[in-house]
Chain A
């Protein structure tokens, strides 16, 4: 016989101001199976928890219903209290009479009745709860870092320095990310590559870090502590173990007219190339699409000139399977291209560029060697217009959010321009100047006051070309919203920072959620900013939302800390609220018919085919088997199973049925 204890919390006055708690307790005491019922001011307080503990011992309770706040709030608290009293923690349920009752309804009989009903439903549920043991799983103490930008580099180094193994996967031929493309960084104007390159080298040299560049995550299976990851190592057509990075091949390659990705199309590169001089690793790759040999079957000049005999035209993509315990997603962001803006000509005007292109133009190692030369004719622009919020904070463009870094880099760009073109004029169209950050406001102010950037508060409605000039039409909202028309030589759009194009696909591989802008979602915006909803998978850097360098680095160190905590344990405990398949004696073995219509619906590939064999090894029956390590407990298979052969602990058919059935008595 069930012996259920009911504990009604007043939550100070949060509940009792609206719900008649003593009455609820009194009524609950008369529910069949309830042997103890009490109300108290703060159930979650120490004395409150002690009441639960004592009542369990004294009244030999077989189940507990705490009627208080949302289970999302205090379920762990009361489950711990139960465990302390020797009751299996999963024999505790919470009836939510605060968020779902006292806070949302008026005081009165109807609200009291609702509280009573909710308690009754949970009493009927808890009567059918099963005692469950939490699941223990081992931890593989290797971390996977996806993405080798500044966030990935920081995370990898911190984890490696804590003594754990790290596998880093980078999509491009070199690590470094967007930061390696930047000219100078705000607010100090120190050279981006000067501060990043040593860290890149450190990654390559750290014995705890295994680096895969020109590689992508192919698939991820498993769960916290025990992920199996397949990595596709794309064929570089160069044997990394042999190549000594002399670079002769890249100078001899006859096909040198390929738009350079690193220079955002503003420079050219050969078909066999190292993305930039400081690349790590300093190993070239052959761009198979543009390589003359791959296209025509003739050439092989690189092979001929290579002293180390490192060229491998027959190299194929390689799939590497690794076991890791935690994953850090550091895949960074992208910027909208100028063709996103119909009002600015859909990208058809050569002299409208985006911020990242400007970084390359301003960079001493860039295509113009740091000189200001506009793309169309190489002339030095005398009038330049910077447009902040190009796309950002614009619901009509589908990008409601602030890209956060543009105010700062636009100020930086204006300053860099003025430093290089002393007689030039720089205009900045802006909505607001968001310069919150250490020394940030001082920085933008310097741009305006010392370098004389002309800031115009207003938006640019359109840009068109007329007689070789870019006519920038905007409004100056501080001047009676008057129309401003500037005949510019070049325009830089601070285009919105957006998610990486592969983000959605990666999220689906990793089963982590992402927001409507395809940025990865953190588990809690305030309290779990670097965790995802999937245990063991973490986020750092701009893959979560636009972030500047210090923020990305801070988050990366945060992730490294989280992963180090995880790796401090040899074993993990997991909530045992998972699905299972009915088993029974032979000759049935199970009511499962082996139709496997449950298999496709499982998001975690947790449903396997189990062969039931006789002693001679002959197959008798094939049944569904749910791998407890993989199941995350969504229960979709339960609802799909026609013969009700699958059930899920915590939300069993019986629990849910009687919870609903308990409605009738009100």
Chain B
């Protein structure tokens, strides 16, 4: 914590960055994302086990886009998001300094992309045992029950799009659901509209999701939609040996192929 503050303060004091993205105390006993531009503000900066928001999200927001250079307090999820965003031409290495923090909360200092890649590979994967258990539970259900499970699970969805808004990988200026003529995904939050929306989102994240679980955390009605992506990430790693968030130069699984991709269902 003190080390983080020290690095942050120095970066600002020595004019190495214009902006630091981190956390501060929030309302009640929450923490919240915060932005620091002056060394003296760094006293407000905190980092603790509650700082789990994937603040890589802000790299694509105005505040960070305007800054010429910035630093970000980055746990492994944020680091992986940064690498994935970089691979998708969304951020440039020269603009960003990564203050790496392990899942245990240990500061590993400033990381360039090369070091970030190493760091990302050594850190454990994000998936939680309870999520894994839920995936297995669902997979064990008979077909119709699986379908009904999801229809029910999505039924509280109000299409507030917090999942999309808080996902660093959902940076499209115009989301597919906002594309009309044709209207691919029904906008209305009825059961069908919800099912198609979440399926489409999972497909769009396929091979790109870094499994931070932010979508689930942000969802005001607690839909376990992160497991859709978890499940696909697992599949894609197994099937194509492809894993998002590990390399700054990377082509996601659905934008490449090998002539020997193995399936067993094409007649």
Contacts and interface: CB of A to CB of B under 8 A. Distances in A.
Partners in one complex: yes
Interface of A: 588, 591, 593-601, 622, 640, 642-645, 653-654, 657-658, 661
A591 B255 contact: no
Interface of B: 88-90, 171-176, 179, 181-182, 184, 204, 251-252, 254-256
Contact of A644 (B90, B171, B184, B252): B184
Given A640-B254, A643-B173, A657-B184, A594 B89 contact: yes
A54 to B, nearest CB: 33
A601 B184 CA distance: 23
Given A600-B255, A642-B204, A657-B184, A595 B179 contact: no
Given A640-B255, A643-B172, A595 B90 contact: yes
A596 B251 CA distance: 10
Most B CB contacts (10 A, CB to CB) among A588, A594, A661 go to A594
A622 B176 contact: no
A103 to B, nearest CB: 23
Contact of A642 (B90, B172, B182, B256): B172
A622 B173 CA distance: 13
A645 B171 CA distance: 14
A658 to B, nearest CB: 7
Contacts of A643: 172-176, 179
A588 B174 CA distance: 9
25 contacts: A588-B173, A591-B172, A591-B173, A593-B90, A593-B171, A594-B90, A595-B88, A595-B90, A596-B88, A596-B89, A597-B88, A599-B255, A601-B255, A640-B254, A640-B255, A642-B172, A643-B172, A643-B173, A643-B174, A643-B176, A644-B174, A653-B184, A654-B182, A658-B182, A661-B182
B12 to A, nearest CB: 25
A658 B175 CA distance: 20
A17 B89 CA distance: 59
Contacts of A600: 251, 255-256
Contacts of B256: 600
Contacts of B175: 643
A622 B89 contact: yes
A616 to B, nearest CB: 16
Contacts of A640: 254-255
B66 to A, nearest CB: 13
Given A594-B89, A653-B182, A642 B252 contact: no
Most A CB contacts (10 A, CB to CB) among B88, B172, B184, B252 go to B172
A598 B254 CA distance: 10
Contacts of B88: 595-597
B176 A644 contact: yes
Most B CB contacts (10 A, CB to CB) among A594, A643, A653, A658 go to A643
B90 to A, nearest CB: 7
A471 B158 CA distance: 84
Nearest to B252: A597
Contacts of B171: 593
Given A595-B88, A654-B181, A654-B182, A642 B176 contact: yes
Nearest to B207: A597
A593 B89 CA distance: 9
Ranked nearest first, the 7 interchain pairs of A and B with the lowest CB-CB distance are: A657-B182, A591-B174, A643-B172, A595-B88, A597-B255, A642-B204, A644-B179
A375 B89 CA distance: 63
A644 B255 CA distance: 15
Given A588-B173, A593-B90, A597-B251, 7 more contacts: A593-B172, A599-B255, A600-B251, A622-B89, A644-B174, A645-B174, A654-B181
Contacts of B204: 642
Nearest to B85: A595
Contacts of B251: 597, 600
A644 B256 CA distance: 19
A609 to B, nearest CB: 8
A220 B35 CA distance: 50
Contacts of A596: 88-89
Nearest to B182: A657
B20 to A, nearest CB: 24
A371 to B, nearest CB: 49
B204 to A, nearest CB: 5
